[in-house]
Amino acid sequence: MREESYLVLRKFFFWLALIAFLGLAPVIIFSSLGYKFNWSSKKFLRTGAITIETTPKEASVFLDGQKMKETTPATFREVLPDKHTLVLEKDGYYPYELTLLLKPSRIAKVDVVLIPKARFIEKSRFDFNVYRFFVTRHIFGDKIIAFTDKGIFFVGTDLQNARQVCGIDIGPVVAGSVEGLKEYDNSLIYWNARNIWMLKIPEPPEEICSEPVLVYKAQEVVREVFLGIKDKYLIVHDGRNIVAQDASNPAASFLIKEIRYPKAEVFYDSRTEALYLRDRMPETGVFSIFKMELMPMIGERKENEEAS
C-alpha cells in the first residue's frame, strides 16, 4: 500500500512538474526574447526601454503614476509598448510631465532641463514709472533701455545702475505702443504700427535732449525695420513697399520694391547687404522667394540723382 501510494505521488508530481514546465516555458522563452504578457490585450508584446536624463540629476521618476526606485539618470527596460505618462520631480524645481509613445523594441530617450522655482524677484532700486523697456545686445554687455515718466534711462542688466540719457517723457500711450527699438549713431530709433521716430542722445557737455523726430510714416502698418547698408539706412517694410531711408536725413528715401502681398515676409542680411522677400508672383498668384542686393541699387540711384 505504501509502495502504491509512493508511485501515485511520483506520478502526480511528475505530471504537475510537466504541466508547470509546459505552462512556464513559453513565458520564460518569450521573456528571454524581450516579450512581456499584456493582461489587457491578453497577448505577448515585445517590450521597449525608456532612458531618462535630467539637468540637474537625481530627479524622482513617476512612471504611469508609480514612483520608481531609481533617480535620474535612469533606464527602465522591459516596458510594454503603449502611451506612458512620465513625471519628473526634484525639490526646488517645477515638476515636468510628458506623455511618450513607446514602440516595440525601441528605446525612448528623454532629456529634460528642469526649471528652478523662483526664490525671489529683484526689483530695480529706482523710483520711476516704466512704460516700456527693451534689451539691446552689445559686445561688452547688454543694457536695458527704459521709457519712463522721468525720461529715457539706460539701465544695467543687474538693475543696479541707471543713467538718464534724455529727460523727455514721451507719455504712456506712445511708449506703450512702441513695438521695436534700435540704437543708431548715438541715437535711438523706435517705432509703432504707423510711425518711426529718431531721438538723438545728447553728448556731454550737452544736457538738453531734443524732441523725437518723425522719420517715417507708413501708408499701412510698419511690419519690420532693419538697420542696414553700412548701418546708414533704415530698411522699412510697411505692408505696401520696402523702402530704404537715410536715418540721418529723412528726406533721402528710396523705394526698393512694391509689395503685392501685404503680409509678405522680409529678411535683411546685414553681412551681405542682401534683402530676401517672400511675395506673390503676378503671373500665377503663387508665392516665391526673391533676393535683392541693395548696395548696387542705392549707389546707382544716388549717381543718377547727382547727375540730374
Cell of 160: 543696479
pLDDT over threshold 70, residue 282: yes
Q: For residue 29, what pLDDT band results from cuts at 50, 70 and 90?
A: very low
pLDDT for the residue 30: 47
What does the pLDDT look like over 6-24, one tens digit per residue? 555 555 555 555 555 545 4
Q: What is the pLDDT of residue 35?
A: 53
Point out which residues pair with 184 in neighbouring strands.
187
Distance CA 299, CA 138 (A): 30
| Per-residue model confidence as pLDDT tens digits over 245-254 | 888 888 888 8
Q: How confident is the model at residue 231 (pLDDT cuts 50, 70, 90)?
A: confident
Tell whether omega for the bond before 73 is within 30 degrees of 0, i.e. cis.
yes
For residue 182, give every residue at least 6 positions away whose Cβ sits within 8 Å of its Cβ, in sequence order, or none: 136, 188, 189, 190, 225, 227
Which residues touch 168 (CB under 8 Å, ≥6 apart)? Answer: 151, 152, 199, 209, 211, 212
Cα of first residue to Cα of last residue in the chain, in angstroms, is: 133
276 has a pLDDT exceeding 50: yes
pLDDT at 81: 82
Res. 271 pLDDT band, cuts 50 70 90: confident
So what's the pLDDT on residue 118? 78
- Tell me the pTM: 0.68
Strands 82-89 and 162-166: unpaired
pLDDT (mean) for 174-196: 92
> To the nearest whole percent, how much of the chain has pLDDT over 90?
42
- Phi, psi at residue 248, to the nearest 5°? -90, -10
Average pLDDT for 294-304: 57
> Which among 21-30, 148-157, 206-215 has the top mean pLDDT?
148-157
- Cα–Cα dist 169/177, whole Å: 14
pLDDT digits (tens, 9 = 90+) for 78-116: 888 888 999 999 999 999 999 998 888 788 899 999 999
| DSSP per-residue codes, 111-158 | EEEPPBPP------S----EEEEEEE--TT--EEEEEETTEEEEEETT
Task: Work out the number of other CB atoms within 10 angstroms of the CB of residue 245.
Answer: 19
Q: What average pLDDT does the structure give for the chain? A: 82
Question: 255 vs 13, which has greater pLDDT?
Answer: 255
Which of 27-31, 49-53, 72-76, 200-204 comes out lowest in average pLDDT? 27-31
Q: Which residue has the higher pLDDT, 252 or 138?
A: 252
Tell me, what's the pLDDT at 2? 54
Give the helix ranges, DSSP H, for the chain.
2-32, 172-177, 294-307
